[in-house]
Structure formats: C-alpha cells, structure tokens
Structure 1
Amino acid sequence: MSKLLYSATMSVDGFIAGPGGDMSWLTGHLGPNPAVDDLIHEVGALLVGNRTFRGDDPHRGTEQDGKAFGGGWSGPQFVLTHHAPAAPVPDVTFVGDLDSAVAAAKAAAGDKYVNVLGASVARQCLEAGVLDEVLVIIAPVMLGDGVRLFDHPGGTNVRLERLSLGEVPHATNLWLRVLR
C-alpha cells in the first residue's frame, strides 16, 4: 500500500516559498541530489495543493517549466481544489475534497509513494492523520518571509522520527516518519 510523503526544499529559516509564493530563490539551490533522484523512481502519484499547482516555478522560462521534479517525473497528479479549470489538463485530476483526493492518489500510486506538494495540503493531510513521512531538503539560505514548511496557528506538537540524514554539496536531506 502506498504512503503519503510530503517533500519540499526549505530555507534554513523554514520557508518553502518566498513572499507571494516566489520560487525563484530555489533556482540557485537545485543540483544533483541522489536522495531526490532515487525518490523520483518511487513516486507513483502526486497530491498537489491548488496554490502549488497554479503557482510559481523555479524552472520558469526553461524547458522544465511546469514539470514535476524539473521534468524528471511524469504520471498522475491529483490537485486538491474547489476551482477546477474549465479545460482539462493532461494527467491532472482536480478533486474537491481531501478524502477523495487521497484515495484517488493512493489508488493511482499502487505500492509507490504519493508525493504531497504544497504546505496547505500537507497540513491538511497531517490533521487528517494520513501523512506518513516528510522529506525536507534544507538549502543554505534564509528568506526571512514567505510560505512556511508547516504552519499551524496557535501551535501544535507533531511528533516525528528521523529515518535518515544526508548531505550533498548544496543541501542537507532530512527524512522523517510521522509518529501517530
């Protein structure tokens, strides 16, 4: 059975996107990362938040613009939204509620990961008790403002267990299991 994995590249001060969802900061921190290269082959489907799907792309203006993992992955994507576009998007299914989106993504992924993209949908998955793992690629930069990896007004205590810690020249990979 598939697992839900939230993966994101994060600044040292905890942001996955800059102010207004700006992803241009990430361009200078992309590079070879064996953990990500291995992960791509283990992803069977994406569960994507609407803002992430419609948002900025660190590959803007390049051949990889709009492609998951910079074009390294292709497959079914499930976008959680209440505002599906009128025109269909190839390989993308728009789903209006979390339970249906998770069920559809898990069915499509088979025994591979459902990779969760987007802070809001990841938080919703955590609150629903369906998020299994978190992979944070920590880039050596501080943004000072933007979209946090995890934001829970009023605070909370999500217990995590470290599965692995690795370093590449441009980042540190931290892989965690969500404890229930």
Structure 2
Amino acid sequence: MAKVLYSATMSLDGFIAGPGGDMSWLTEFIGEPNPTADGIVERIGSILVGRRTWGGDDPNKGTDQEGAFGGAWHGPQFVLTHEPPPVAEPDTVFLTDLTEAVAAAKQAAGNKYVNILGADVARQALEAGLLDEILVFVAPVLLGDGTRLFTHPGGTKIKLDRLAEDAFWYEVVR
C-alpha cells in the first residue's frame, strides 16, 4: 500500500518558496549530488499537488528540466483545488476533496509513494492524519521570507521519528 510523503527543498531559514511563490532560488541547487534525492523519483508512484503549486513558478520553465523533480517525474498527478478547470490535462486529475484526492493518488501509486508538493496540501494532509513521512532537503541559502515548510497559526507540535541518519527523513508519529 502506498505511503504519503511530503518532500521539499527548504532554505536554511525554513522557506520552500520565496516571496510571491518564487522558486528561482532553487536553480543553483538542482543537479547537486545527493544519494537520497537521486533515488527518490523512482520510488514515487503519483504526485498530489495543490493548485497554487501546480500552476505556480517553475524554476526550470522552458527547459528540458521543467516539471516536478527537475523534469525527472512523469506519471499521474492529482491536483487539489476548489475550482477544477473545465478541461483536464493528460495524466492530471483535479479533485476538490482532500480525502478523495489522497485515496485516488494512493491507488495510482500502487506500492510506491504519493509525493505531496505544496505546503498547504501537506499541512492539510498532516492535520487530517493522512501524511506518513516527511523528507526535507536543506539548501545552503537564507531567503528571509516566503512560504514556510510548515505553518500552523497558534503553533502545533507534531512528533516525528527519524527514518534515515543521512537525511532529514521522518515518519509522522500518530
């Protein structure tokens, strides 16, 4: 059965996107050797993404590295949105309900991961008890502002168990 993974590259000060959703800061870190990052794409069976992330800034737009995971990802993607477009794109399903979106993405993933892209969808999945693991790559840069890896106004303590010694890879404790 598929597990749900939130993976992201984060600045050292905790941002996964810069102000206004800017992702251009990531371009200088794409392609750097990282055994964990290099092997993750083949372990993903589907992607669950929020509408802002799906339609947002791609630092590789217009290049052969455009798309998720520097263009290495090809497969089913599920977009969680309040307003699905009238016409879908190939390999893309638009859904309005988180639980249904996770279930559909898990079915498509088979025995691989459903990888969440987007902080808001990850937060919703975590709060709903649907997120299994978190994998964070830390880039040596300070952004100062933008979209945080995880935000919950008023604060929330989520216990995590470390899954790998050589990476920031954690299991969500329930």
1:176 aligns with 2:157: no
Q: What TM-score results when the alignment is normalised by the length of structure 1?
A: 0.93
3-state DSSP of counterpart to 1:44: strand
Aligned twin of 2:121: 121
Q: Cα distance, 1:62 vs. partner? A: 1.4
Aligned twin of 1:151: 151
Taking the aligned partners of 1:21 and 1:77, their CA distance within structure 2 comes to: 20
Q: Cα distance, 1:69 vs. partner? A: 1.0
The answer to which of 130-139 and 23-32 deviates more is 23-32
CA distances 1:12-44 after superposition (whole Å, capped 9, x unpaired): 000000000000011111123221221111100
Taking the aligned partners of 1:122 and 1:95, their CA distance within structure 2 comes to: 15
Aligned twin of 1:49: 50
Aligned twin of 1:4: 4
Aligned twin of 1:169: none
Output aligned runs, 1:1-180, within 5 Å: 1-31=1-31, 32-65=33-66, 67-166=67-166, 173-180=167-174
Q: Cα distance, 1:116 vs. partner? A: 0.5
Taking the aligned partners of 1:22 and 1:98, their CA distance within structure 2 comes to: 25
3-state DSSP of counterpart to 2:164: strand
Q: Cα distance, 1:6 vs. partner? A: 0.1
Count matched residues: 173
Instruction: Give the structure with the higher percent strand.
Output: 1
3-state DSSP of counterpart to 1:157: coil
Q: Cα distance, 1:165 vs. partner? A: 3.5
Q: Cα distance, 1:61 vs. partner? A: 3.0
* Stretches of structure 1 lacking an aligned partner (at least 5 in a row): 167-172
Q: Cα distance, 1:64 vs. partner? A: 2.1
Q: Cα distance, 1:96 vs. partner? A: 0.5
Aligned residues with identical type, % of pairs: 64
Taking the aligned partners of 2:145 and 2:76, their CA distance within structure 1 comes to: 32
Determine if contact 2:30/2:70 at 8 Å carries over to the other structure: no
* Stretches of structure 2 lacking an aligned partner (at least 5 in a row): none
Aligned-residue RMSD, C-alpha: 1.0
The amino acid of 1:2's aligned partner reads A
